[in-house]
Structure 1
Amino acid sequence: MRAVWCGFALGVVWLQQQAVLPDWRAWLLLVLLAGSAAACIVRMLSHGGSLRLQPVIVWCGVWLLAACAGFGYAAWRAEMRLARALPVEWEGRNIVVQGYIKGLPVTDAHGARFLLAVESNDANIAHFPHTIELSWIAERTPLPALEAGARWRLTVRLKRAHGNANFGVRDAEASRLARDVRATGYVAAPMTAERLTGLAGGAGVAIDRWRAAVRARIDAVLAEAPHRGIVIALAIGAQDAVSAADWLLMRNTGTSHLVAISGLHIGFVAGLAAWFAGGLWRRSCFIGRDWPLWIPAQKVSLAAGALFAACHAALAGFNVPAQRALWMLAVVALGTISGRSLAPSLVLAWALGLVLLLDPWAVVSAGFWLSFCAVAAILFATSGRLRMHDHERRDPEPDATRFARSRSGCLRRLSSLRERLLSGAHVQFAVTIALAPLTVYWFAQIPLVGPVANAFAIPWVSLFVTPAVLAGVALPEPFDAWAFRGAHALLDVLVGGMQTMAGLPWALLRLPQPGAWALAAAAVGVAWCLAPRGWPLRWAAPLTWLPLLLPPPSGPPSGTFRLTALDIGQGSSVLIETAHHTLLFDAGPGPESTHAGERIVVPYLYANGVNALDTLMISHADSDHSGGAPAVLAGIEVRQMLAALAPANALWTAARETHADVVPCAAGQHWRWDGVDFAVLWPDAGPLQGKPNAHCCVLRVSATGAGADVGGNDFAGQVREPHPSFTALLAADIEAPVERALLQRDPEALRAEVLVVPHHGSKTSSTEPFLDSVDPLVAIFQVGYRNRFHHPHPGVFSRYLARHIELTRSDTDGAVRIETAGPALSLERYRETHRRYWMDR
């Protein structure tokens, strides 16, 4: 069964990497492969062991057959889920839907976000999405009480489940697909919203209401306590209330797993329940019963542990680590009750298969890989380690003195304690080594202080904080308040210790996101390093990690630059890289909107190996350009901030606090990096005048070389007369008056091969004379999917089309990367080179 479930998982993973779902030809090939594998297995087994390679061939056939089954099963589930989607023609139109609130609503100062399980819609759409994600904006009307399971009739305005698509950043569209969210939107007419009588039924709704009640009790007790979010996360698995400061601290110390109800917590609850139930069962004689004679206490303990683990996993919302622990406990309990002893690796394989049967999209989340790989590393590292059993220890002679017996007992206890400490250290070493490559892949960092921090944090949370939180969940009022406050006090101590560790200069190592070969080599090194004693050349295992630990690759060749326009929704953020320098032009929206600064911009910089910015350039104060700047300043070393901001703007203070040089943006500023010229064309020096769009920073970037033509992954053949350089013009949100001023000043300075379109394609910009002077080959529109401003304006977009300019849009192409190396520009669209079957479906 190990080979079956591992092969099944391989097929599921392979399906999630596909650009399109299989058509009838692919299904035919899949059936032929599966049939051939089955026939090979039957033929080999019919020889009765006469062939030397029979076991190898049989196991390969089993793997292939299971992989085909996993691929086919995941494809079938994907076809069924993608079939329910919002039709394109109904995007942006009012639809009256009726349904009930699913899960726990998230409320903040701007309103609420929640999932609605749809029961009916007035558009009579046959395959309407089962689940939609809604926002209820609290502007003119007070926000009503949104309770789990409450039934509502709402007028909503929806769009398809679109997500930002960027290099090295988590795919939000895949996450929505995994949650079966096939449309997103907002409550369009709050005044007409109608709360329906009654509550939705079902076990899921009952669990959600239970979780909501626990959360309300914690909120009432801890109110504005700084670590209230961690207490909520440990109680019910909801992590939305964890503060940004706590998240940053836990990420930098490698302890983020502690705020999830993970397998460690599930195991603790199961063990506690098993111990308590077994103790009561064994002592049934005190009430005149002989229950252990009918059912052994061990089986009762296992059943009670599995039952309480199921309850705790339900309270956690059945996240992947909780599911893994629950299925492992259930398999062990069933095996023991039926009188079978199961190998730990077989138990893990069953848990792997059951998780993927229920949710084939679990493989797109970091929690799946971190959870299963951690347990696999522990099992592999501890296999074959010899332990001294009690009957193997030499007891003192029967006639020894009392002192000798006491001394021997103390030595045994000390030896047992030493053995346990060494075993715990070995397990912690195994988990740290095994998860390091995955941590680099998912989070672009290795917390070097992680082993030390976890050695303190794991027992502290497991033995003190978690029992206090669970006691608060179980106890009635007012006793629960004591438990929750006690848990928060214990977290204060833990956070203080972790802050000390995180402050060490060597606490965190940031690395770029590794490629497939570097990750595979590191995985081989992990298995090599954790192999049993006696494995040849174990000392050489670290050599396989060198590709992972190498410094980030250098930038483009000297005299050229790389431009990456990120997909951050409605806003702008562009990274310019030269051979040894980096400049970030704008930082996207911040907490007031989509949190793109911390959710997209900073993770992209980490994944790309950018740990320091030579210049952060903020074009103007509009939040879709400057809102993410605080997250960038907090997460990345910024050496200089160049901005067109009012003197009272808080970003100046934030930049100075990070020891960055601050310089107002002004026309005439010029510098040269690695053979690439940077020039600021606007605004004029002096006090800023007019609205923010009137004094945006306009930046021209010119690479030396003989520009001739443009080539890329999907277009070629456009030729321009030889020109001394490749140039990119970043126009921010300038409008027609500024365009006219720039034309009057120096039309030739505007000429560029690459243009980041002014003001996202607004009708107030991109005038005909301006486009004639720039004469770009490539134009980049940074716009949000179906944004409320309707950018780009159809008339403006048609101006670019009429000039046969190669156009890219972040809402349809995702992030765009342009290289100026060589005789041609190369253009890469993320949604083409990294396409997955769920995109635009």
Structure 2
Amino acid sequence: MNVNRFFIGVISGCLLSLFLPIVPELLWLIFLLALILTCMYYRLLFFTGLCCALSLWLWQVQQHQTQSTQLLAWPEPWLKGQVVSISQQDPEFSRFLWQISEGPQQGYLVRVRWQQAPALLGQGQDWWFKLRCKAVRAPANPGSVHVEANAYVLGIIGNCVVKDALVLDVEWDHRQQLYQRLQQKIGNLPSFSLITAFTLGERPFSDELWLGLQATALGHLISISGFHIGLLFGWVYGLMLGVATLHINLLWCRKAAAFIALTAAWYYSLLAGFAIPTLRALLALALAVYLLQQHRRLSYSQSWLLVCGLLLLLNPLWVMSISFWLTLYAVALIFLFVWRYPLQDRSLSGVIIHGLKFQAVMTLLMSAPTLLFFHGVAPLALLSNLIFVPWCSFLVIPYLLIALLLELVLPAEMLWHWQLADLLLAPLQHWLLAGASMQYWWLLPAQTAFSALCIALLLLAVFFLPAAVPKHRIALLSLPFILLLWPKTPQWQLHLIDVGQGTAVLLQKGDRGLLYDVGPVYGSFNATEAYVLPYLHYQGIRQLDYLVLSHADTDHTGAFAEVLKAYPKLQLIADFDTGFSQRPCLSLPERYLDAELWAFRSLTQSGEGNNSSCVLAITTAGWQSLLTGDIGHSVEAELLMSRPDLKTDLLVLGHHGSKSSSQLDFLSRVKPLLALNSAAAHNAYGHPSAEVLGRLALLQIPLLNTAEQGAIRIEKTEQQLHIWPYRQQPLPFWLQKP
């Protein structure tokens, strides 16, 4: 019981760190250490654990920030390190993780981009790199990875570009050799991406497969995680116990079963690149093996607290990982199920029914965190998991690991074992593609952490309360949550999507929308696929009616063809040649649903430059928004001459806040209540300019900029505007400032 209090304190301290507004100075570590000694003296184990967690968290965060600051302070340092991930190849760049092996930053990672990298580049190689680095920062949109938090979890201290290089050791490690061999040998198989996902943790998925994973709720099955590591451990452990029964001379297999199974789990983790979920599973399994050897039995609650507490003591920064808490939540559900519904009928039919019941309960109870983090549920989740979790657990994953072992011993030209694997994966492949094509994903009202917790507790009560508790009382408790989740009348929303140095604005009502620009494209990278399309899917846009391309600059047109592919029925609006069926800016209708539209394009500008931008005024629920593209001061004056009474409530600054736009006269005439700007953090152009900031300050117009706020969502009702800047919402609080 005392140990439980300590680990509850550890968990509480790690959770408390998420709500701290700032990172305290390192001197606070002395105070925390003194508190630890005091609490230990008085045997206050809860507070001892809490202070231990906060001390370790403070030390790791301060070290991470210090080493990142030092790295960024050097102009172009030469550093020695090792490639620790399989590189992602783009037409112009190779991207990979690189671990520094010497100097004060030893052990930390940097995310590297290398233009025209050599073909021999691979995981396991040692290099001297001359690097130009910048801080880890990326556009922040709901539904996407919290890049800054993820950098702390993984130990990444910078994003770097290779300026010069010297190879020290060209040998690939075992994982890279296997991946290269499989790519050359079976890269043309339809299920190649699924094979590499299950065996090596690499997921070169198409957009269709990613959508299929969302629509079928099978993402947990494809990514190598604790489930896969634990599954392999169980298979090998059971196999060794079975072998021990064959002959008396094989009794040693019983004693060695746990260690052999742990070794197999370690090898699987090695193949997965020792991803964090696999490391957590390995540590938990190692603890279980230790307790087994010591003949110590713990209750389910003690086991959960022990695993969770020890993992957070090893790395308190894992508290920022969503996957960490999803895993612990799933483990807690498994323990609850085994406690509440023990297996009593051990016949084949009884085991099958019990397994189906388990899968159904797990799928339903995992819907609460899905609703919290992804604002929706997949109706196909239950059916998908009932079919493909057993299919993959009992057939696909064991066979793929056997096929991988065969690959190591069979002649290189042999293909039959992979062709059979392709046949086994064909049903899953077809199911994912079918789910993507039908867009099986239900968007539900966004939930707070509190409401999602209440929903989870209600579901837990339904399934795990003793049978003596009247079920009708639980049904009455569910009524408030039914009202909470009941679809509400859709309101108009304006979204300024964070695409970095570019523009993308979404006007949404329900599942329909109008998109104004699609973000930038830089070389092989385009924000349209990286940010805009995922944002549209996340917000539940099923019907995109119009795509307005303001002008021809690539920071506005991006990869607009991908939007046309995703929404083939939309109408493209552009005043330059796109190569697709299109209509001019001024052909936009005056009404879109119940919104009023007014389009303007300069009559004096005949080219495709900034001043040819299509300006769009939108009136919804009595509020007006003005999207100005990249127009300069001359077209601003022309716009005012065309419509002298022009006023707006929301103004998206022209040309990302450039000093050549948003002139004082223009701002004072249109009188916006709020200015919005789309620009990248620390961009090379200095947007928004000091001049524009001065004009806004003079007129007392507040500004929200995606560089600081991330994506900005504004809901319009007849009474007021509800504004949600994304970076002011996610935890941890101390990471919200740029």
TM-score w.r.t. length of structure 2: 0.86
How much identity, in percent, do the aligned residues show?
Answer: 25
- Counterpart residue number, 1:197: 168
| 1:678 partner amino acid | L
Query: Match for 1:163 among 128, 134, 138?
Result: 138
Question: Post-superposition shift, 1:352?
Answer: 2.1
Counterpart in the other structure of 1:247: 210
Q: Give the letter aligned to residue 62 of structure 2.
A: E
Distance apart, 1:62 and its partner CA? 5.2
Residue in structure 2 matched with residue 550 of structure 1 by the alignment: 485
AA of the residue aligned to 2:404: V
Whether 2:269 is the aligned partner of 1:305: answer no
Residue in structure 2 matching 1:783, options 668, 679, 689: 679
1:430 corresponding residue in structure 2: 361
Q: Are the equivalent residues in 1 in contact too, given 2:343–2:351 (CA < 8 A)?
A: no
1:215 shift after superposition:
0.8
Aligned to 1:534: 467
Question: Helix, strand or coil: the match of 2:498?
Answer: coil
Which residue in the other structure is 2:420 paired with?
486
Out of 598, 607, 615, the residue aligned to residue 679 of structure 1 is: 598
- State how far apart, in whole Å, the 2-side matches of 1:830 and 1:421 are: 45
Give CA deviations for 1:203-228 in whole Å, capped at 9, x if unaligned: xxx9x822111111110112243432
Q: How does 1:253-652 map to 2 (within 5 A)?
A: 253-278=216-241, 290=249, 292=251, 297-388=253-344, 416-475=347-406, 476=408, 477-478=411-412, 481-500=415-434, 507-531=440-464, 533-538=466-471, 541=474, 543-544=477-478, 547=481, 550-551=485-486, 553-554=488-489, 563-576=494-507, 583-589=514-520, 596-604=527-535, 615-627=546-558, 629=560, 641=571, 643-644=573-574, 646=576, 648-650=578-580, 652=581
Letter in 2 for 1:170: V
Q: Distance in 2 between matches of 1:801 and 1:132?
A: 39
SS at match of 2:173: helix
- Does the C-alpha gap of structure 1 residues 430 and 696 become closer, same or farther in structure 2, counting only changes over 3 Å? same
Secondary structure class of the residue paired with 1:19: coil
Match of residue 184 from structure 1? 159
Cα 1:177–1:68 change in 2 (3 A) is same
Q: State how far apart, in whole Å, the 2-side matches of 1:497 and 1:609 are.
A: 21
Shift of 1:667: 6.7
Shift in Å, 1:819:
6.5
Shift of 1:322: 2.5
SS at match of 2:369: helix
Matches within 5 A, 1:674-713: 677-682=596-601, 690-691=607-608, 693-702=610-619
**Residue-by-residue CA offset, 1:767-791 (whole Å, 9 max, x unaligned):** 5654554454543221112335554
Q: Indicate if the aligned counterparts of 1:760 and 1:791 stay in contact, CA closer than 8 A.
A: yes
The DSSP-based 3-state class of the residue aligned with 1:383 is: helix
Residues 70 and 683 (structure 1), Cα distance of their counterparts in 2 relative to 1, 3 Å cut: same
CA offset digits 1:724-753 (Å, max 9, x no partner)? xx543211123455435424433443x434
Retained in 2: the 8 A contact 1:615–1:638? Answer: no
Distance 1:496 1:167 in 2: 29
* Aligned-pair CA distance for 1:830: 4.2
Q: Which aligned pairs between 1:107-122 and structure 2 lie closer than 5 A?
A: 107-119=89-101
Task: Measure the CA separation in 2 of the matches of 1:342 and 1:758.
Answer: 64
Q: Which secondary structure does the structure 2 equivalent of 1:512 belong to?
A: coil
Deviation at 1:149, TM superposition (A): 3.1
Q: How much has 1:622 moved relative to structure 2?
A: 3.9
Quote the Cα distance in structure 1 between the aligned partners of 2:559 and 2:156. Answer: 27
Distance 2:199 2:106 in 1: 34
Aligned length: 730
Return the letter of the residue paired with 1:665: C
Matched, 1:148 2:79: no
Contact 2:498 2:710 in 1 (8 A): yes
Task: Give the 3-state SS of the residue equivalent to 2:83 in structure 1.
Answer: strand
Counterpart selection for 2:187 from 202, 223, 242: 223
**1:125-170 Cα shifts (integer Å, max 9, x gaps):** x7799322121133xxx64432223233333322111232345643
Deviations 1:441-494 (A, max 9, x none): 222221222222222212322333223322332233427643233222322232
Partner Cα separation in structure 1 for residue 404 and residue 432 of structure 2: 26
Partner Cα separation in structure 2 for residue 756 and residue 88 of structure 1: 36
Report whether the alignment pairs 1:85 with 2:48: no
Deviation at 1:105?
Answer: 1.8
Q: Can you list the C-alpha shifts for 1:494-548, whole angstroms capped at 9, x where unaligned? A: 222454566678x432223311221121111121122155151345546548537
Structure having the higher Rg? 1
Judging changes above 3 Å, is the alpha-carbon distance between structure 1 residues 460 and 385 closer, same or farther for their aligned structure 2 residues? closer
Question: 1:82–1:838: 8 Å Cα contact kept in structure 2?
Answer: no
Contact 2:61–2:152 under 8 Å retained in 1: no
Report the Cα distance in structure 2 between the residues aligned to 1:545 and 1:606, rounded to whole angstroms. 29
Where does structure 2 lack aligned partners over 5 or more consecutive residues? none
- Confirm or deny that 1:105 pairs with 2:87: yes
> What's the offset of the Cα at 1:344?
4.4
Contact 1:101 1:148 in 2 (8 A): yes
What code does the residue aligned with 1:355 have?
L
Which residue in 1 is equivalent to 2:705? 809
CA distance 1:168–1:473, shift in 2 (3 Å): closer
> 1:424 deviation in Å?
0.5
Question: Contact 1:299/1:333 (CA < 8 Å) preserved in 2?
Answer: no
2:485 aligned partner, one-letter code: L
Contact 1:762–1:796 at 8 Å: present in 2 too?
yes
Distance in 1 (alpha carbons) for counterparts of 2:498 and 2:92 = 24
Q: TM-score, normalised by structure 1?
A: 0.76
- Tell whether 2:130 aligns with 1:130: no
Cα distance in 2 between the residues matched to 1:668 and 1:455: 48
Listed as ranges, the matches of 1:11-50 within 5 Å are 11-22=13-24
CA–CA distance in structure 1, aligned partners of residues 645 and 71 of structure 2: 43
Match of 1:402 in 2: none
CA contact under 8 A between 2:212 and 2:435: conserved in structure 1?
Answer: no
Q: 1:127 and 1:95, CA in 2 relative to 1: closer, same or farther beyond 3 A?
A: same
Query: What residue number does 2:636 align with?
Result: 739
Give the whole-Å Cα distance in 2 for the aligned partners of 1:385 and 1:771: 67
CA contact (8 A) 2:221 2:389 kept: yes
Match in the other structure for 1:722 = none
**Alignment correspondent of 2:585:** 665
**In structure 2, what is the Cα distance between the partners aligned to 1:357 and 1:668?**
59
Note if contact 2:67-2:105 (Cα within 8 Å) is conserved in structure 1. yes
Task: Assess, with a 3 A threshold, how the Cα gap between structure 1 residues 156 and 297 changes in structure 2: closer, same or farther.
Answer: closer
Looking at structure 2, the residues matched to 144 and 770 of structure 1 have their Cα atoms a distance apart, in angstroms, of: 54
- AA of the residue aligned to 2:187: A
Distance (whole Å) between structure 2 residues aligned to residue 761 and residue 88 of structure 1? 30
1:162–1:840 contact (8 Å) kept in structure 2: no
Change (3 A) 1:683 1:27: same
* d(CA) in 1 for partners of 2:143, 2:435: 28
Structure 1 contact 644–695 (Cα < 8 Å) conserved: no
Q: Look up the match of 2:655.
A: 759
* Structure 1 pair 36–522 and aligned structure 2 pair: CA distance change class (3 A): farther
State the AA in 1 paired with 2:122. E
CA contact 1:267–1:325 (8 Å) conserved in 2 = yes
Deviation larger for 420-429 or 598-607: 598-607
SS at match of 1:103: coil
